Structures are given as C-alpha cells and as structure tokens.
A = this chain, B = another copy of it.
C-alpha cells in the first residue's frame, strides 16, 4: 500500500517530467509571430506556469493505452493501436510515406491551450487581478487584448488538434469532442454565474455545473488519446467517465481547500468563496442542513474579513457535516473513476492514472 506522501511525491515527479516536455512544445506550437503583441498576450498566462495536469492525464492515458513504458516514447511520434497503417493526410503532404504514429503532444498542448483561453476570459468576467502569481492578462495588457488573446488561443487549439496526423475519421471525432467540450465549459460557467443569485441550488445541480465547467476538460484529456490512437468505443467511454469523475473530485477538493488551507499557502484569502457568496458543494449541503450561509460572514469584501470570522464559519460547516460530505463525495468519485480504468492494460501508466486520481483529493493546495 502506497502512503499518500509517497504517492504525492511520485505523482508530482511524473507530472514534472511531462510538464517539461509540454513546456518545450508550447512555444513550438504557439510561436510569437506577427502581430507580436497579440501572441505575447496569448502566451503570457501559458508561460506563467501551471501544473499541466490535463496534458499529463492525456499523455499518461496515451502511454497506458499503447502499453509503453512511461516517458520512453517520443510523444511527437507516438505509436497508434492499429497494426494497420494510416494514410498520409493528403497527396501534397511533406512526407509521402504512410505513418503509423501520431503527434500526441499536439493533443496535449491543445487541451492546455483551451484551459488557458478559458482562464483568460474567466479572469475578465470575475475581474480577478492575479493568476498564477502574475497579473491577469487583462491587467497586464488591457481588456481588448485579453479578449482577443483568448479568442486566438481558442482557434489555435483547434488548429493544433488538427495537426496530430491522425486518420481523418479519428481527427473528426477528436474535433467533435473538443468543440462540444468548449460549449459545455461555457454552459457551466454560465450556470455558475446564475447560481450566485440563487439560494436553492441542489447538490445535483452543483455537481452538474462542476461537470460542465471543470470536469469535461479532464474527460476530454482522458478520452482524446483513445480516439486518436484508435481504441474501441468502450475504452473511449470509460476514459471519458474517468475524466468526469476525477475532474469533479478535483473541483470539490478545490472548494474544501479554500476553507482549510492557510491564506499564505493558498496564495489568496482563505474562505474567499464564502465571502463572495460562491456556491460550493459545501455551502449547498450546509444550506440543506439549515445553516444560514448568507449569515456566516458579514462582509462581502475579502480584504475586510478576519481569520476569526472564517474560523467560526468553518466550525459551523464542520458541525453541519458539510466538509465531511464534500470529502466523502470527492472520495467516492475518485474510487468510481479509478474503477473505470479496468479497461486499460495493467501497466505502470495505468497505476499512475490511479495515483493522479488519489492525488487530486489528497493534495494540500
């Protein structure tokens, strides 16, 4: 039995090694070109860091499917699952010879680019000043440039996903997943905004919102390699489900951490979700238990709240069993997600996908 500490160390190391490769690929796929200011703004948040969890899930799923030793393969020439050779993209393709590999790194970069686009536009919508320790794009540049940078990343993600070299029928399916994922993210973000003005959101509604806003991009990350490498529909569906489960667990854990991690470590005021009346699984559950959520914190200003007020609010949520409820729900989702990985060959990469799932709810920040 792996201890959580050993697992966290192993996961962080695995993520770090893939992150390095992703970080090399990003400037290759998104070079700073004319008009430079637009591309600099588009790259600003990507270059500011990020764990690259979604690309890591994507690359590791590809390794599990192809049954290769982790990190032993060139992600730019990754073996497909069929012995059958794919046809070249077109007659005037640079290489005339048939390929039986695809550029799975393109798919990994594409989902990270989508993630970056959504963050840039979300920061405008929430008027957040900071992201990843640097100014938000609309603060570092301006509103116009930030909208345009997000829009540029949006279409670039589709362009990059079209460059994997996968067979056309697989490329079309991958593009469908990417497009419907983006639509669902917008729908989830819209629901989230609507929920801020409602006091009757049910746990089911909250989980639906989280599924659309956050989990679908994990689901896309997990199922895209299956589509592009030529796995069967059962495998594609199981991996999509794994991504939905761990993505929801990830968001629930984020909500818990907002209440339980000291502000210094969190990089923002602890309990800011409560102060800003943001719905979380915790508040939705507590309200069901009769807790007066709106009355927990008097101020709506994160700069005015005291640690003592937050402590009292957290204690009340604990008494109502709401934090335990969130922890248990996340745990169940992670177990459900891991069980879905049975469709994969039993190998080191599959174990890593299980560990990533556990890590998402064991992580301290």
Main secondary structure of the interface of A (DSSP, over half): helix
Within 8 A of B (CB), among A37-90: 37-38, 90
Q: Find the B residue at minimum CB distance from A151.
A: B186
Interface residue from B121, B168, B176, B187 paired with A147 (Cβ < 8 Å): B121
How many residues in A have their beta carbons less than 8 Å from beta carbons of B?
Answer: 43
Q: Which of B148, B162, B191 contacts A190 (CB 8 A)?
A: B148
- Alpha-carbon separation in the docked complex, A293 to B80 (Å): 60
- Closest chain-B Cβ to A91's Cβ sits at a distance in Å of 9
User: Hey, which chain B residues are within 8 Å of A156, CB to CB?
Assistant: 179, 183
Q: Is the CB of B151 within 8 A of A180?
A: no
**Partner pick for A151 among B35, B121, B167, B178, CB 8 A cutoff:** B121
Contact call B35/A190, Cβ cutoff below 8 A: yes
Q: Which residues of B contact A266 (CB under 8 A)?
A: none
Q: With A148-B193, A156-B179, A159-B183 given, can you name 8 additional A-B contacts, CB distance below 8 Å? A: A90-B169, A154-B155, A154-B182, A155-B179, A158-B178, A162-B172, A167-B168, A175-B175
Instruction: List, sorted by A's number, 29 A–B pairs whose CB atoms are closer than 8 Å.
Output: A35-B187, A35-B190, A35-B191, A37-B194, A90-B169, A121-B147, A121-B151, A124-B143, A145-B193, A148-B189, A148-B193, A151-B154, A151-B186, A152-B186, A152-B187, A154-B182, A155-B179, A155-B183, A155-B186, A156-B183, A158-B182, A159-B176, A159-B180, A159-B183, A162-B176, A167-B168, A168-B168, A168-B172, A172-B175
